[in-house]
Amino acid sequence: MNILVLNTGSSSLKFQIIKTDLEMIEQGTDEMLCKGLVERIGSQALISFQVVNKPQFKTALPLKDHRAALKYALDWILNPETQIPGVESLTDINAIGHRTVHGGEQFTNSVRIDEAVIKSIEDNIDLAPLHNPANLKGIYAAKEVFGNQVPQAAIFDTAFHSTMPEVSFLYGIPYQLYRRFKIRKYGFHGTSHRYIGYRYRKLEGLRREEVNIISLHLGNGASACAIKKGKSVDTSMGMTPLEGLMMGTRCGDLDPSVIEFIAHKENSTLEEVMQLLNKRSGLLGISGLTHDMRDLEAEWNEYRDRRAKLALDMFGNRIKKYVGAYYATMGGADAICFTAGIGENSPTIRKIACEGLNVLGVEIDDKLNEETIGGKESIISTPTSKVKVYVIPTNEELIIARDTCRIVLNAPLP
Ligand code: ADP
């Protein structure tokens, strides 16, 4: 089957076509055929598409909405000159898998999309006002372009964390608020953490119940996940992605009183304070320079900027705190796995995060750490390290394609 994997943001659309079936899943031989990104939808859109092992196609042109962006991508996919093996007409795309951010309490696994599912994702807009409307745009656009014959599935960022126990997901606020409004920790990046658990299991030749790791997804958004016996038992993001680790522009954990204090001092509204905590905090807020880890590291390496260094140290230190906390609550872990843009590419952050963790038996091999960048998968701990440390490039699209395939074939989901 050829599965079109769609990930739509408020003004972006990312896609991949992945060839897979039950046999290929079993053998791990699924193949990514092409990928693409459309940014700045709604104005002069930036486009970069690529067939595997071929040069990138780049252009810019006005695209008014997600439907126009999807249509443009499909025109490229089906253009005879593009030459994607086995993909010549619309009927060669057998199903569509959507990355969907918030499934609330209702969706504990991936589902086939029908009217009732769309309604429930719409109902969850309250919980994810920034993300679910964007994901819905992708679902509406795909329905319009493909019609109802092509099956579509939703793969939720929250679903992997639905195994968290109450002690992890409840906040210490009146229980009625959970009952009435479902205020609780949901967690995000679930598809990525799930992939890391899966990949670690394959690398180590383990059964799912034997996976006891701390997964660290460090991108623009960042989260830690405690995976015990193959299941998420705790994660650092909360009801929204604002909680937990410090991020590119998000503050992460914070005394809630700070919100009231800022509002008083700055004479700002709640919305303005939330905007500040979401968009102007984290690495950007501390450094006063940038939210981008690469630029931040350059500022420190080239100009010895003190606040750039402070931002790096705070980012790494928060990670360390979570690793320590999860190590304790899980009763030990066999590995720590780094992933996503920063996790896969920043030896500096990995080093800061692991420094001092030798008390838990974590020993990094500095050479391996330095060498593991640019999408390389590798162990970076010493042979004597009690806790292994891995860098595993994430692959959410693969999980989305596989779940979509299983749903279409009525095969059991893992
Ligand atoms: P998103 O959460 O948007 O998917 P990514 O997973 O792509 O983000 O991660 C983006 C982050 O990864 C940025 O902070 C970027 O600077 C960082 N990053 C990418 N490459 C490097 C690198 N070589 N060194 C340090 N940081 C990097």
Mean pLDDT in order along the chain per 10 residues (414 residues): 95 96 96 97 96 96 95 96 95 97 95 96 87 91 92 97 98 98 96 98 98 97 98 97 97 98 98 97 98 96 97 98 98 98 98 96 98 97 98 98 98 95
Q: Dump pLDDT digits (tens) for 5-60.
A: 999 998 999 999 999 999 999 999 999 999 999 999 999 999 999 999 999 999 99
* Rounded (to 5) percent helix, strand, coil in the chain: 45, 20, 35
Both tokens of residue 292?
Answer: 């981008």
Q: Specify the domain boundaries for CATH 3.30.420.40 within the chain.
A: 2-156, 205-391
Which residue's C-alpha comes closest to atom 25 of ligand 1? 294
Residue 198's pLDDT is 98
Q: Give the pLDDT score at 193.
A: 98
Judge if the beta carbon of residue 219 lies within 6 A of ligand 1. yes
Q: Which CATH class is domain 205-391?
A: alpha beta
pLDDT for position 129: 84
Q: Which of 242, 135, 251 lies closest to 185 in space, CA to CA?
A: 242
| pLDDT of the residue at 120 | 93
Per CATH, the architecture of 2-156 is what? 2-Layer Sandwich (3.30)
253 is catalytic: no
Nearest atom in ligand 1 to 373's CA: 23
| Residue found by looking up tokens 């990312």 in the block | 14
341 within ligand 1 shell (Cβ under 6 A): yes
pTM of model > 0.95? yes
CA distances to 38, 66, 351 from 42, rounded to whole Å, are 11, 8, 41
Which of 21, 157, 365, 403 is catalytic? The answer is 157
Contact assessment for residue 316 and residue 218, using Cβ atoms and an 8 Å cutoff: no
Distance 372 CA to ligand 1 centre (A): 14
How far, CA to CA in Å, does 104 sit from each of 16, 44, 130, 406? Answer: 26, 34, 14, 22
Best mutation site among 286, 293, 395, 396 for ligand 1, i.e. most ligand atoms within 8 A of its Cβ?
293
